[in-house]
Amino acid sequence: MLSGHLDVVPVEGQPWTSDPFTLTPKGDRLYGRGTCDMKGFDACVLMVAADLKRPIHICLTADEEIRMDGARAVISRLGKDWTRPSLCIVGEPSRMKVVTGHKGYMRIDTHVRGHEVHSSNRYAGVSAIFVAARLVSWIEERDLRNKAEAEATGGAPYFDPGWTMLHVGTLSGGTAHNITALDCHFVTGIRVVPGDDGMRYVREYQDFVRREIEPAMKAVHPDAGVAITWRVGGEPLVREEDGEAERLARRLTGDNGIQVVPYGAEAGLFQAAGISTVICGPGDIAQAHQPDEWVEVSELAKCDAFIAGVIRECSA
């Protein structure tokens, strides 16, 4: 199975110098949103067809950037409505190197519910923003603990950064400057290195909230509190012992190095479903999600040659 995703991240607020949704060639580069992540690979896959003794499945999914629900929908039908492939190559940008590991991803949504009063008497209320600030500080301190431990022990081999990272990406709340905030919402992302248990951070966070935060809130007003919801965004990709996908990709690329990436991808989900999986695709992840995103034509040519090799293997 050759696997790619069709969704892209937004362009609002980015200083593009060309139309992000019109493919713009400049020299060896093709500019446009998603050219690198990962429509270049998708286009290479769709350009080829052949009569094969062993079928090649093409899997193009929606919603990879947010929830990976597209890949989950595909996996739920493999072996039932659709034939389960023996191996999967996910074409995320890797400079056509064979990537055998990536981090998993977990998302925590926190809703702090306070109690509104005039700010001149704020101790009669509960500021959702002040409470959220304490929680965000706990999350940063937990990440710094992981960083210090990784620096002391060497961390996760090959990964940079070599630890499970916690990060708050968005925060919003409050009504006016002179009212204690009734609500505050923020989103935490956890990038989990293979072998670590992402759920332990959820449990530690929940314990901190129930033990250290909520009692003081409810002492002021019983309706104040913290609601925490979480979900696994993606499973980590772990290098397989004598994996079929790795053998094929290395044979076709000649790449025998060990590569892992800090981002998450659908590869971990396919592997968790029992399919031998690696990442190998054109472009550099440094270009992904950036203004004036681009992929090199020469990288797409390497991808074309790689897919031609897959076809040869499946024609034998």
The answer to whether the CB of 35 falls within 8 A of the CB of 295 is yes
Q: Which one is catalytic: 37, 42, 64, 143? A: 64
Backbone phi, psi, residue 87, to 5°: -150, 160
Per the DSSP assignment, residues forming a β-bridge with 296 are 29
Interatomic CA distance for residues 186 and 286, integer angstroms? 26
**DSSP assignment of 235-257:** PPB---TT-HHHHHHHHHH---S
Tokens of 81: 């409505």
Give the angle subtended at the CA of 186 by the CAs of 184 and 190, to the nearest 5°.
155
Coil vs helix vs strand at 13: coil
Q: Which one is catalytic: 7, 19, 69, 197? A: 7
Q: Report the sign of the C-alpha dihedral through residues 90, 93, 97, 99, in that order.
A: negative
Which of 103, 107, 105, 106 lies closest to 163 in space, CA to CA?
103
Active site residue 204: no
Interatomic CA distance for residues 124 and 102, integer angstroms? 48
The dihedral formed by the CA atoms of 7, 167, 260 and 311, expressed in degrees to the nearest 10: -10
Active site residue 151: no
Q: Which residues are catalytic?
A: 7, 64
